[in-house]
Amino acid sequence: MPLIREIINVLETAAPLRLQENYDNSGLTCGDSCRECTGAIVSLDLTPDVIKEAIADGINLIITHHPPIFKGLRQVVSGNAVSEMMIACIKNDISVYACHTNLDNVLPGVNREIAARLDLEQTRVLQPLSGTHRQLITYIPIDFFEKVRDTLFAAGAGAVGNYDECGFAITGEGTFRPLQGSDPFSGTLMVRQNEPEKRLEIIYPAHLENKLIQTLKGAHPYEEVAYSLYPMENKFSNLGAGIIGELAKPTTVQHFFEKVKAIFRTGVIKYSNTEKKEIQRVAICGGSGKSLTTSALRNNADLFLTADLGYHDFFSGEGQMIIADMGHFESEQFTSDLIARLITEKIPTFAVRKAASKTNPVNYFL
Ligand SMILES: [Zn+2]
């Protein structure tokens, strides 16, 4: 039986917590991750019915997309719906883990689940994040260069998009003077040593920083390892919010909406006025995506499909782009499949399943 934290590690390898938006509250909401995991239920939301399912089946981990504690909770007392759910989970030894905007902000995440079902091709992130990567520069004696670089690669440094083992090196000469009490790699105490070295430049995902520094110090032969860490503002096409891609051929708006309704079983699609009869480039953001409207326009999307739009938001396509609301739950419903799949791919024998109860709080009266 895996520990709860082993299940969490699988999710955070695919969707590092550091990628969550600053308003978010992804991660372990309650519980003890050091316990053995008796099974997991995946649900878009935490509801009393989902908790009942977990209790009935003896399952001690509920994984949600939406964090149940989102805007802060000042007391855990009965009489408040979120508090009562937390009390029920804690009383029954159920841990709750939320995987929210960190799963939105990876390309194989929430939005690719939607795009794949609508047969979008050439998909890329709609609004890339910056600050996700940093650069490490270090100096390695020539004979140890390959070993140290390969160890850093193996620990996750040097991966960019569809490439890994990316780095740059140049040969030079380092100097140091070992003082009393030191145990130098080479040279004599109190005499300046000139040492042939290679300077290695390598980028890495910021969330791996602590691990990489430990790895570097473990593999490097010097007592005092010289290294520098630099922030980077680069944006990478596989990290960020929303997704944009192309339909294989121009399609009528009606045909596209029929497909959305059929696949996502959405009760109604609300959409803006347009002269456009056919579309090909489609931008998508599952859940509340109106903040990405400008990015969709700038990327010349014919249609932007998202949810939670208000009256005024339907003007924001500026006559050039159709903006459509497919429903929040409907757009993100396949996120549960994605989370369950991520776990099953890594731990095939683990019992993970989607919640059986309906968690969409919205009904449509037609
Ligand atoms: Zn959502």
Mean pLDDT for 160-169 is: 91
Q: What percent of the chain has pLDDT over 90?
A: 90
Kindly indicate the confidence band of residue 288, based on its pLDDT and cuts at 50, 70 and 90: very high
Q: Is the pLDDT of residue 161 over 90?
A: no
Would you state the pLDDT for residue 162?
81
In angstroms, what is the span from residue 76 Cα to ligand 1's centroid?
Answer: 24
In angstroms, what is the span from residue 110 Cα to ligand 1's centroid?
Answer: 9
In angstroms, what is the span from residue 329 Cα to ligand 1's centroid?
Answer: 7
In angstroms, what is the span from residue 166 Cα to ligand 1's centroid?
Answer: 35
In angstroms, what is the span from residue 308 Cα to ligand 1's centroid?
Answer: 9
In angstroms, what is the span from residue 328 Cα to ligand 1's centroid?
Answer: 6
Kindly indicate the confidence band of residue 276, based on its pLDDT and cuts at 50, 70 and 90: confident
Residues with C-beta atoms within 5 A of ion ligand 1: 287, 332
- The model's pTM is 0.87
Q: Which residues contact 142 (CB under 8 A, 6 or more apart)?
A: 171, 196, 197, 198
Kindly indicate the confidence band of residue 28, based on its pLDDT and cuts at 50, 70 and 90: very high
In angstroms, what is the span from residue 215 Cα to ligand 1's centroid?
Answer: 37
Q: What percent of the chain has pLDDT over 70?
A: 100
Quick: pLDDT tens for 252-265.
999 999 999 999 99
Quick: pLDDT tens for 290-336.
999 999 999 999 999 999 999 999 999 988 999 999 999 999 999 99
In angstroms, what is the span from residue 85 Cα to ligand 1's centroid?
Answer: 19
